[in-house]
């Protein structure tokens, strides 16, 4: 055997070792970053819950069989549901996918003529993506009372106009979005402020308007129920994932009982 061939053979184990060290280092980095991001994300969620509690009583409610949802056998969604007194349903959903951590925070009002607040915050290594959306799930958006609510929420949007925008694909529910922010940032403090500030502005606006009458609550419930039904039927980015893995009937049941909760407020 030629000397050069022997040298090449001796080099291979070292090359493989180097590759394994690099892979191991990368995996270790991702695990450490995932742990760090989970702590940051949980702290932000806790701050949002604390902010709601400054304005209303927040009572944990049983999410039942949907407290833990597994998708593709790998992704585990932890789901919590709360009742916010004199307002409506709050759902919090978290998932850790290793390379990305995500939290969904949704306030669906039934007791006041408020828009639905839906927030999705993603933590991708050092990058942060924030989606804050207010949906017009009300019978009449033209009332002075509701326009005042939207004016306050639009003021919130201006505060974060300096952050880079995220381009999103058109969706069937775009017409329901009265105020929407889709932002990217690397600044955890700014992202935390954006999350908590949205909750605070929302609760301040809700505090200023009266409770709905029984008839008005029924109308509000019907509008929200239609949105849930349409979301399952027409789909969305996250909805399509649930439908594919859980099936349309189970996804609808999850939306109605926990994520948006119209079933809980029809009793």
- Residue 73, pLDDT score: 74
Residue 174 inside a domain? The answer is yes
**Any domain includes 142:** yes
Q: Is residue 27 part of a domain?
A: no
> Domain of 180: which CATH number?
3.40.1500.20
Please enumerate in sequence order all residues whose Cβ is within 8 A of that of 53, keeping only pairs 6 or more positions apart, or say none.
none
Query: Is 129 in a helix, a strand, or coil?
Result: strand
Tens place of pLDDT per residue across the chain (267 aa): 445 555 455 555 655 555 655 555 444 545 567 789 999 999 999 999 999 999 999 999 999 999 999 988 778 999 999 999 999 999 999 999 878 899 999 999 999 999 999 999 999 989 999 999 999 999 999 999 999 999 999 999 999 999 999 999 999 999 999 999 999 999 999 999 999 999 999 999 999 999 999 999 999 999 999 999 999 999 999 999 999 999 999 999 999 999 999 999 997
Q: Could you give the CA distance from residue 49 to residue 70 in angstroms, rounded to a whole number?
A: 25
pLDDT at 137: 98
Q: Is residue 189 part of a domain?
A: yes
Q: Is 216 domain-assigned?
A: no
Q: What integer pLDDT is reported at residue 15 of this predicted model?
A: 57
In a domain, 165, yes or no: yes
Nearby residues of 65 by Cβ (< 8 Å), 6 or more positions away: none
Inside any domain, residue 157: yes
Domain total in the chain: 1
The residue range of the domain holding 147 is: 32-63+83-210
pLDDT for res 11: 56
Residue 129 lies in a domain: yes
- CB contact burial 116-144 (16+ within 10 A = b; e otherwise): bbbbbbbbeeeebbbbbbbbbbbeeeeee
């Amino acid at each position: 055997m030629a000397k050069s061939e022997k040298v090449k053979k001796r080099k291979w184990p070292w090359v493989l070792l180097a590759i394994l060290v690099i892979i191991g280092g990368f995996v270790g980095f991702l695990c450490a970053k995932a742990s760090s991001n989970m702590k940051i994300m949980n702290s932000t969620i806790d701050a949002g819950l604390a902010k709601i509690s400054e304005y209303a009583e927040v009572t944990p409610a049983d999410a039942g069989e949907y407290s833990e949802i597994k998708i593709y056998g790998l992704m585990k969604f932890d789901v919590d549901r709360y009742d916010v007194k004199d307002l409506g349903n709050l759902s919090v959903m978290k998932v850790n996918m290793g390379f990305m951590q995500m939290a969904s925070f949704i306030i669906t009002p039934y007791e006041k003529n408020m828009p639905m607040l839906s927030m999705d915050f993603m933590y991708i290594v050092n990058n942060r993506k924030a989606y804050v959306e207010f949906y017009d799930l009300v019978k009449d958006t033209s009332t002075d009372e509701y326009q005042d609510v939207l004016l306050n929420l639009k003021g919130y949007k201006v505060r974060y106009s300096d952050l880079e925008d995220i381009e999103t694909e058109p969706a069937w529910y775009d017409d329901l979005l009265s105020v929407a922010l889709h932002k990217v940032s690397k600044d955890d403090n700014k992202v935390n402020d954006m999350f908590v500030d949205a909750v605070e502005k929302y609760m301040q606006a809700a505090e200023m308007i009266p409770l709905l009458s029984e008839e008005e609550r029924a109308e509000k419930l019907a509008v929200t129920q239609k949105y849930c039904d349409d979301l399952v039927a027409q789909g969305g980015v996250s909805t399509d994932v649930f439908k594919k893995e859980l099936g349309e009937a189970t996804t609808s049941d999850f939306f109605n009982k926990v994520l948006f909760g119209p079933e809980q407020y029809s009793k």
